Structure 1
Amino acid sequence: MRALLQRVRGVSDYTALTETTSFRFPEDNDEEPPYRPPQSDVSPVQQPQSPRPQSASAPVVVPAPAATDTSKASPGAPQYVARMQAFHEKGQAQEHVKVRTTIIPARTATVMQQTSSLEARWIPAAESIVIAGIRIPGMVYVGRELHAVDSRNPEPALIDPLAHVSTNPDISGATLNYWPSYCDISPNARCAYLQWLASGRRNPGVNISYVFLFFYGLERRALYDAQTEDAARDELPAIAQEVETLLDVYGEHNTFKRYASAFLDHLRCLPEVFRGRKIQLPSERVGDELPMDLRRGLGILAKRGAPVPANWAYAWVTLDPEVRLRMPAVRCATEFKLLFGHRYRQQFGDGMTLKEAKQSLTHTYRPASAGMHLERRIQTEIPDVCTLRKPQRDLRTLAESVTEELEAYSRFLGKSPQEAGSLAAAAVLPAELVRGRPSETILSLVAWIKTHGRLSQLPLVETSRLLAFFFPHAPADVSKKDALLVSAVLEKIKVGLEPDLRFSGISLAQADRVVLFPMPADSPPEASSEYTSATLVLHLASQVVHADGVVTPDEERHLEQQLETAFALCDAERVRLRAHLRYLLANPQSMNGMKKRLQEASAEMRQAIAECCAAIACAGGGVEPGEIKVLQRIFKTLGLEESQVYAMVHGQAALVQSGRMQNQDNSSSRPPLRDTAAPACAGIGLDAARIAEKLRQTEEVARFLDGIFSNEEDAPSGPVPPASDSNETLVLLPGLDQAHTWLLRRLLENVSWPRDAYNALVRELGLMAEGAIETINEAAFAEFDAALIDADDDLILIETALLEEYLHVD
């Protein structure tokens, strides 16, 4: 009937046929209804579902059919045609004639012209059209007889205005196939598609096939029409913006995201889209290649000879499909990005400069539409820096180095993710991250330190108050591990601590008060041989200055000057030595445990130490009887005759009274402490160069310090694990010592251990119960990133499967 009416009416305007026109003809015995003028609105059942208000302007109404030769009509048609012509000649219309019209809003100032065919056309974004009573916005193809670009099949995106549209929409898309085409989908699906278009194309709950159906039209317009039509080229920026919006709404669908992202990259290679657009740094990779925006931006930087910023370098290495980031970089992504930027600027300054590659950047796109099978390729004038291997190697090496710096922090988070912002976590973080991204606990610690005045004044603080920041439930005793934790965290915020186990061997457990000082940026991570020797002498000398119960400024200053002159210390070591001296003067030390170790020193070293202590005793201008007694005790400890004390003291006193001490070490790179050289004096003087020479024996002095300042009872007194024979030397986990390896072998005998049995086992080995678990788990995390022991109050569980898989044990 539809074809018949078309021939009878002779209407050539395809725009007037965008709606199905239906008539109900009265029978011969029906009475003609009274004439009513045509209405612009349709019946209530077929009211257009438009998201926009109707225009106030008069709509374009389908014109009355012209007189037509009815001889070509099918049988039975003449009487209807004649009656229809009679109605129009009389200027009458049937009340029940229903006409759906194409309504064009006045603001578009567009009047659809009648044509002689049903040729399809593109509806621009500024126009809208009514299809089956539903007003839809532009950016769609409407009409008939439009073939696909690469085949003779109908264009999938073409909306046929004569195709039947149901009133029951298939929102879920249950009737759709994989490659939808408007001419092939069901009437229910057409209804859902038109309603989605009318709603503005922003409904995230719609079936993604409807989005693809619209997307096919954008592909055709941009990739095919724009090759020959100026109007299509002018629309390319609007098409790119529409694809960006669709990605924002429907980007969670991976297939659509892949096609839309690639299509967008292709459009951005076109000058009409790229011109005047600021390149956005991508944050993710879609597909198996570097994002096109990243490649384009790097190429432009290379072409201009501009340095690559740190954030672009980070995106280059992290989005590179050939780079596989290890666990620390993935688990600690934020820290990895911050540290990478810092290390990148340290190594490359403002950024690495790329050479201009010979090969230009090209992009190939395979459309999603079934109507466009062939790939589309664009070649730009931008160099393709991805062909340069050296900058990529440099960035990968840097990324691996940063990853290694975060390994300790990553293992810590793997075991205790809830402790991410704790001071214990800060201890294993690189210092740049602790200072650049401080946690609340770090900020609280810094605020408390500032209440004690300037660090340059070497403030004394209570040890218990300091430890409270690190251990809310203060332990009964401060272990070596705890003391190192405190020192490490303070070092991250450029605050030094004395005593520091790494430099002096004195534990925090032995100090009621500690000294804080500003730590220079170039501070060495461990004690040098010079500093170790100076610390040994300083400890003995502090016994002398404490002898009379009063530490004069002259004694303190003289002691400091003598040590700085005698030992070649760097600036950072001098600052630490002053802080250590302040600690020793505020916390008198005993000489228990020193005798045996000092007597192991060579005779020349012991003589040099004795001379130094005698010189310090004379620094105040006179020697008190109490100081003589201390010197005699030191001499006795050194294995020297007590009678030598008076000879050395008299000689040093004569030298002090002369007003100057001669510095004979002319080869020192440091300027002398005094401007005027002192004359040589008779008697036994303090020869700084000779003392330094005698004390520069690193291994010997270090061996003394291992036990001089530590309590002998700190060493474990439990039994030593049984000696291993040749069959028991298997290392279960790298990093474990003999005791912990033997413990692990015993634990693997059972899947679980009662807490009491476990405690008895570690006591036999002289180990700490919780410390042994932590040590074994740390080794396990280092090997296979998982804990081997799970402990609670009553039971110790052993994950034997992990170790068996690791060792390939049956």
Structure 2
Amino acid sequence: MKILRIIFLYLVIFVACMFVVVTVMENWSTDEQMLFAFFTPGILVWRLERKRAMKLRQAYEVNSQRSYGLSISEPVSTQPEGIRREQQLTDKGHQRNQGQGWIPKGESITIAGRDIGGMLYVGTPLLLNSRGYREKSRPYIDLALSVARVGADKAGEGMPHWPGYSDITPVCRATYLDWLAGGRSDVSYEPGYLFLYFYGLERRCLQDHPSDAERQDILDEVLRLMSLYPNDGSVQRYLGEFAQFVQVSLSNPSDQKPIFGNPGWDVPLAVMIKVGGCVGLGEPLSADWLLSWFLCHQDRSLRTPATRCPEEFQALFRLGFEKRFPNGLKVTKSRKQLKVIYQAASREFQVELKPMVNGQPVVDISGLRKPIEIAQELADEAMNDLDKFSRYLARNPDGRSSLEALALLPPDLWSLFSSENLEQLMVWASDRVSEGGLVPVVEVLTKLGGTRPDGIGKRQFTDAADALARIGFGMAPDPRFALRGPKFEEPVVLFKLGAAVERLENVTQTYRAALMKLALSTFVAHADGQISEGERKLLKIQVEQAEGLSDAERIRLSANLEWLLVVPSDMALLRRILKEMGADRQADIRAAVVSIAHADSSIHAAEVARIERIYKTLGLDPAMVYSDLHAGNLVDAPVRVRAAQAGQPGEVIPAENVGRLDAARIAAIRSDTALVSSVLGEIFAMDQDVDQDVDADVAEAELLPSPLGGLDPKHAALVREILDREHWPEDAFADLAERHGLMPAGAMETVNEWAFARYDEALLDEYDGYDVAPEIVAALRAELEGELC
């Protein structure tokens, strides 16, 4: 019919032109008359056909109002002119005519000897206007073009950045047809072939306005294509934007579910419409929709706990939201309305979307900042509460269901992640406390972890203490402050804290000083192999009279005394620490010890004996005790060391000088107590909480580039040698640190703090030497090899 129409028009115009030649162009040459008579009808017919095609195009592309309150305005098209179609419009929509146009799903066509299923365009391609990147529509498979016998270009070397079937080489056409015929799932093909196929799906869905059922089929196909190339940024971006656009037009905003993951940069369109609709209608936001908006926002700031334990993080975020906004969050309405322009991946057309919800325009939320700031505050609180649980999972990926993991959860989540075993743990701990509190450390770790451990590491022991603290029970010693932790065969002391404690490490400096003073005193008491009743009473009095402690800290100090009375302090460790500190620090240590004797403004015989034992244990001359005691600004007079008894007559002892307390001297004694805290804390304390920031000295030192960035040169060199062994004996590690001019205890602390900041795990685990974390070793070796390359 089209051919007949063109012939008829040509003949009519030809006759008219001949009449013009005979009547008007008599003086023209014969050649000029012939050119006019034959070429003018052709030009006029071409213009008439183009105008006709434009009318059909405009009639066909008038967008209908979408259902569910969403409307799509008339497309902002880049091809209003020069369009030639080989399709026909019927009352049923756009259909093929003699193998031309869209091949629907379920049908197939044979092209160049290959049977190819539907969902693609076949035939003479549409002509685009001059503003397009190509003159011919890209997705059309033009049957008139040549195709190579073998598709040998899987790598897409002949494919341009924006491929079009009419522009690629015959070999690329054959390769593309092979990919289509092979099921369109072979990921060994260059993604450019996928895009060439996607261009047709995109055009069909957004330009031809098929039924919702067909649009859903196209959407499903696009989502399938995205799953083939999950790591290709271009595929995920372009196909993802299309999927969002279509999903919005197919769904009811009231049925939209929150999205808690956003691989892209911009907030998903569905979230923009739902949240913007609520804001526009004046409805308060729920916890889920604020969380969805926040997690999809480009300004969000998330730490490891939010990604390692997302379910717990989201639950804690909701609980914090409900406490702060029980009636929902009211958001100030913006004047700007949401308008989205979808730019086709093929660059052949645009579609503008102006969504409506319940008859009201959707508010553009992209410029709102206050709700995101509120969400960030709630997220920070949730992540802080999950720090211990997250780090436990990092060290024990399979331990999520253990009692220890459950106990490390914030108490607010216990009702959501409940377990009868947690109640049993509380009963077990309460029974052990009532029996005296002494429990083998192996039993505690087995009860919490579910399996008997092969050994005890510092972090494992710290996790156990934190887990018990969450249910209101303490464990002495606390590995953060004690002189040493228990050995495999030794007991620990369980006791009631009085209330659940979130962070055991949050204690005062006074408590640290009192604990170190107690550890030193019990060390002296154990020096002769037994503890007398008098020594026991004196130690208890020391705990009761310790000043500046809270009730909770005094309870913890008493429990540590019970453990220190049962488990002797490690003299060898003390000697080694003294050796590490060097002779220049012995004076500070002696001053700290003497300050203990001066703390009550009098010196007792028992105190003198204890100080003598300390000096002997530390390898100091006991004779120095008396000179050190008199150097403490006491009255220069004989000191009572024991009660007077009748004996041989001799010189009269002067009366004991019992003067009034001097306020200046009391201030000096308190200053000495601070010295006890700083010096003894440095000597006896085990590693402090590894979650603290890196030392200022390290931060200010010359930093090395990745992968050892954050370490000064000495510690970086130490780490490189640490990687050579899976386990370092204490002596070997001490020698290694000495070679690098470092003290072992300080070096281990610095290295572990750096490792936690970078890998969320300690590099060295101290127990019977130092175990080196294999995961960090593997990661560092890989990075160091890359640095060499």
TM-score by length of 1: 0.49
Task: Point out the structure with max Rg over C-alpha.
Answer: 1
TM-score using structure 2 length: 0.50
